[in-house]
Structure 1
Amino acid sequence: MLAGKSAVSIRVAVVTRPEMRPSTLFPPDFDLTVPLPTLLRVKSTKVGAAVRVIRTIQVSRPGILRRGGNLDLATRRVTNCVLASIGYPTVPPHTTARQYREMFVTDLIPISVSTLLPTEVVGLDLFRQETESEHCKLYRAADYPLTLDDLSRLKHRGVTRLFINKASRSVYQSYLRKVATTSGPDAFPLTARVGALNEVVRDVLESAFKRDDVTETVNAAEKLGSLATELITQDEFTVSDLFQVLHHDYATFTHSANVAFYSGLLANELGYSKEDVEKITTGGLLHDLGKLEIGEHILCKPGKLNDDEFRIIRLHPTLGFKKLAHRDDLNEGQLMMAYQHHERLDGKGYPVGCVSDDIHPWAKICAVVDVFEALTSQRPYRTPMTRSKAIALLQRDSGTHFDSEVLACWKSIIQRNLAS
């Protein structure tokens, strides 16, 4: 719709995205036009054009957008339509043009697609990266829910993650907590709850580990262990629910989260009481606490460790035990998960070289899933192993390194998942 030779109605740009309904975004008496050169730049120069749109939008009421001033609601709605149509972040309330430009250099952070639900409005812009070399582009604006068809297409194309602005992290965390903790008749599907809880666990552990506050970490681990146990012990829970949502990078907090879920799952399968499953899950969250005392240059070294570096790595069970040993809110089994998860039945483990009868049963559980998780996750020095290959490798050490009964139970869990 032409508004003059030098201007084009902004509606022309908006209708390029079907989920953007212009009728709900434009007040009836709002007459807005964008100069034709600006619209052409929008279609061609991406980021620079998006910034220029904010600075050059003209409305029938002068003074609404001043240089360096805030955008009022109507102007922001229209501007957001333009930005969304070219795949760039929309404008939050009370944002200046300069602040918006700064948004483009703000890092995006990945989120798991498994935590997103059809009909639920997450409340933040979702971005997608087609290839590793491409910039992220807007996939779905904040006000629009994903549909079942959207999620099916993402799954079919192998898309496991989308991105959000780092500034929106708190909004995403609130959404995750809602999904993970809502129970009763209003509870969300189990897979979504497991995925959301896994994200919450990783986020809380990362924050607690960075602050290196043992009391905060233990308190968080106990709360998260309780939530995880509620899901793990449900009759309809399956291991595939878990494998669909876990991350597999080499961050200590990711490894600890995965080991916690695996430990609780294995303990439940072995017939432990729900109370013990909860304590074992909590112990899994804390088992590598000693690694916080070891430098990243060693933990994330891309090559083989030298003798001195390996000696330092071998200290982490003792360091973790010392951090936790004085606490009266952890039991012996949880302390031994931190202290003995690298001990081996034949006495060739560390830090002490305990033999079978001296290793706590909970530490034997942790030992199996700790190695399995490490083998199947990305490491700086190698790619992840398949679950079947990891089980075959563990099986070679059954009865010498690992408890035969515990390993057989874990193997059964994995094989059931592979068969399904």
Structure 2
Amino acid sequence: MDWWMVLFIILLSLLGLMFIRVPVAFAFLMVNIVAAYILWGGESGLYLLVHSIQDALTNFSLLPIPLFVLMGEIMFHSGVAPKMLNTLDKWLGRLPGRLSLLAVGGGTLLSSLTASTMATTAMLGSTLVPEMERKQYKIPMSIGPILASGGLAVMIPPSALGVLLASLGMISVGQFLIAIILPGVLMAVLFAVYIIIRAQLQPSLAPKYEVESIPLSEKLVDTAKYILPLSIIIFLVVGFIFLGIASPTESAAMGAFGSLILAAWYRQLNLKVLTNAVSGTLKLTAMILMIVAGSIAFSQILSFSGVTRNLVDLVGGLELTPVFILILMLLIIIFMGMFMESLSILMVVIPIYMPIAEVLDFNLLWFAVLVLIAIEIGQISPPFGLGLFVMKGVAPKGTTMGQIYAASVPFIFMLILLIAIVILIPPLATWLPGIMTS
């Protein structure tokens, strides 16, 4: 059977199973079992598949994932998030669009508390939307910033999705976590600049209101209590990786231990918090590990059947510039993001894209950063981006999907601008990892 026919049948089978709502991990498992049996020689192929999955799940590069998730779950269930947002709010004063800016700042700070865009969007939405509604903020300046800021959860380390992408792509987890720092910060800056400019041009979208004057001493005390401790933990996690003092696994363990100490310091560490945190960690980690196992086996099946080699040869023989091919690859990811969640996209594209990126001589860290941004664009893109429906759940009563679609568009353009900047200035993704290795 021709390689392109194998690829077509496998992808069609996957999409068909997902369409009938088979869970993604099980869809990959079913396709992998059938493909291994047919392509790898019957029962011996199934034994190879089992060994492949075992090797995938005993990869030490995956250890940071449950630890980062546990760190976030403990902080989330300890109830520190509202206090952090309240402290940040005190510093914003009378800035134009202050509640919209609070969404961006909150998304940046809370990136360490959640493992996904959806969780951050839900947290910000449930906390800020009622206040925005009371202050008569219009949909473009309430729904839009919250929807966009949810994506900061995967672009500001520590990022569980970043660890997963690096593991699937066979690139250094530590270097990739450092590589996403500058693009993540730039993403937040672009959102903030857009909000300030639009609030100045259209004040009716984010009406100004009287803000109580807060003494500087109170701001500093609250910052020391609610923001500084978490900032120290994040610095220990990311800084120790950057300085080469600790591996990603060791840093993640320190972060999880630090979050326990912090929850105890806030007097929020009890059996309920621990139970909820461990339960959430086990559920998410089990799902991620099943996805990793399926994706690694999927990658090996593509390689064994000749799909990867022939696809790389095909792309290498095209009379197209590498940048054009890159843009086409990113557009495919964005399109997939309109219908699929981020983990599913990684499972499908990483085994196919990484060999192509290598033959095109792309820096893999830089390429992986672009993939991550493209996934986030897809998650908030109409008509079926999952972030849109999460936002609908916390939006003011009577908000239509059309209004949410319209609110997302300016921030989609901001993310496209971010992709363009990272493409034109690769050191944004490669400079810090370069310093780290030197």
Whether these two folds match at TM > 0.5 is no
- Flag the structure with higher strand content: 1
TM interval, shorter chain, is under 0.3
Q: Which has a greater percent of helix?
A: 2
TM-score normalised over the length of structure 2: 0.22
Which is higher, the Rg of structure 1 or of structure 2?
1
- The TM-score, its normalising length taken from structure 1, stands at 0.23
